[in-house]
Amino acid sequence: MQTILHSINAFNEAKQVIPGGVNSPVRAFGSVGGTPRFIKEGRGAYIVDEDNNSYIDFVQSYGPLILGHSDSLVVQAVQDSVAKGLSYGAPTELETNLAKEIISVCEGVEKIRFVNSGTEATMSAIRLARAFSGKDDIIKFEGCYHGHSDSLLVKSGSGLATFGETSSKGVIQDIAKHTLVARYNDLDSVKECIRLSGNVGCIIIEPIAGNMGLVPSKKDFLQGLRELCDKENIVLIIDEVMSGFRASLQGSYAFYGVKGDLSTYGKVIGGGMPLAAFGGRADIMDMLSPIGGVYQAGTLSGNPVAVSAGLATLALIKQDVGLYERLESLANRLAEGLMSAAKTYNIPLQTCVRGSMMGFFFAQEEVIDWNSAAKSDTEFYAKFHAKMLEKGVNFAPSQFETSFMCKPFNETIIDEVIEKARASFKELKA
Ligand SMILES: Cc1ncc(COP(=O)(O)O)c(C=O)c1O
């Protein structure tokens, strides 16, 4: 029997001083119930909580840790960098090296700037896109998440393809009204938004959405979006904060062959440290200060410790030929195993794999957008999540997240998870 007394006490104590006891809402287990585990360390495929319970970890810090927890070479690179100083507020050659690394593999990225979080990357990319296009309105897609800047905390108004409404208190309607919300995988809804506004300068999309569960774009949809943006002089921002260096070395490009005018990166490029970036066409990027008039800055931007973690991570990924194929095959093995176990107990399940990303929904029908994702059985997910946690498997505490494979995973680990899922389904159906 698992003891989680330490986590229970730690959570109660945290709630006295941190709103909800957490520094990012999903960690509070609000949508699955129960007590979030307080983690004291991570090694490879596993995390260990303060009560010494160990879990196979499919969260991997919500994506960054493609090499698993505490990869020894990444840790070494960080330690070496720390020994030379934490931050200088001056340029380093490390930043140029990381910029070159990313530019060498990411199609359409000619210049890049580093920031500290995905939120900053998308926020800055949108400011730049507005300046370049000279148009105020932007389009985002229902179910896509791009961080928590005001323009992007917007949901669809009454009916789709409308001017947005705020999805957070404190975001004023005057800002939300400049964000139109279209339906994912539905080009007509995008056309309708463009028509309605008459002033759309930018479209931002997760090409492989991972924030409503895993829902990839359809190929003709993403390609159609590219053509539409070209036709209408709209800046297309491909948000690869999650899918970049995750779905494949080239992110979504390997699946769709679609380039953004701007692209945003985060998670894997920082190897677990706070690092993100936005980049793209040189003529757009050169509008940034200090060359151009679009202001953007950061005290810790391009921080040497984070950049060193990123450089080490990308070098290790590149060296490991076949890494993405191996992780994809493990993701497929997990998806097939879960499907077969669910079938035994008559549990409706949909699965999806893109490279090292795997998603599953307790739903009857294929999930192609937020509408269909929202039909999944979140109560059953909560029960499944709790059962798996008791058995030492950490899936994300929400139906609408993605599971991430990492380098230290192997077939034995995946098969163990499938057996535990089978046992959980049996208990839940008993
Ligand atoms: C696609 C995407 N864009 C942007 C963000 C925001 O990144 P951050 O949490 O680093 O601010 C996320 C975070 O999950 C994301 O998945």
CATH number at residue 32: 3.90.1150.10
Residue 371 and residue 309 share a domain: no
pLDDT at 159: 65
Ligand 1, atom nearest to 62 Cα: 14
- Is the CB–ligand 1 distance for residue 119 below 6 Å? yes
Residue 83 and residue 184 share a domain: yes
Tell which one of 65, 145, 265 to mutate to probe ligand 1, the residue whose CB is within 8 A of the most ligand atoms.
Answer: 145
Q: How far is CA 269 from CA 66, 70, 81, 83, 310, in A?
A: 10, 15, 16, 21, 5
Domain containing residue 165: CATH number: 3.40.640.10
Residue 291 and residue 200 share a domain: yes
Among residues 273, 288, 319, which one ends one of the domains?
319
Distance 118 CA to ligand 1 centre (A): 5
Residue 77 and residue 61 share a domain: no
Catalytic residue check, 267: yes
Tell which one of 211, 238, 275 to mutate to probe ligand 1, the residue whose CB is within 8 A of the most ligand atoms.
Answer: 211
Residue 269 and residue 126 share a domain: yes
Q: Give me the number of domains the chain comprises.
A: 2
Among residues 266, 301, 319, which one ends one of the domains?
319
Ligand 1, atom nearest to 266 Cα: 10
Residues of the chain with pLDDT under 50: none
Query: What number of CA atoms fall less than 13 Å from residue 323's CA on the CB side?
Result: 23
Residue 103 and residue 91 share a domain: yes
Residue 241 and residue 152 share a domain: yes
Question: pTM to 2 decimals?
Answer: 0.97
Confirm if 289 and 296 have CB atoms less than 8 A apart: yes
Q: How far is CA 317 from CA 76, 262, 310, 338, 408, in A?
A: 16, 24, 11, 28, 13
Among residues 279, 299, 319, which one ends one of the domains?
319
Q: What is the pLDDT of residues 91-116, one digit of tens each?
A: 999 999 999 999 999 999 999 999 99
Residue 66 and residue 86 share a domain: no
- Is the CB–ligand 1 distance for residue 211 below 6 Å? yes
- Is the CB–ligand 1 distance for residue 63 below 6 Å? no
pLDDT at 430: 85
Residue 91 and residue 137 share a domain: yes
Residue 91 and residue 202 share a domain: yes
Q: Domain range holding 348?
A: 5-70+321-428
Catalytic residue check, 150: no
Residue 420 and residue 298 share a domain: no
Catalytic residue check, 256: no
- Length of the chain in terms of residues written: 430
Residue 141 and residue 100 share a domain: yes
CA distance 93 to 289: 20
- Is the CB–ligand 1 distance for residue 146 below 6 Å? yes
pLDDT at 162: 72
Distance 139 CA to ligand 1 centre (A): 17
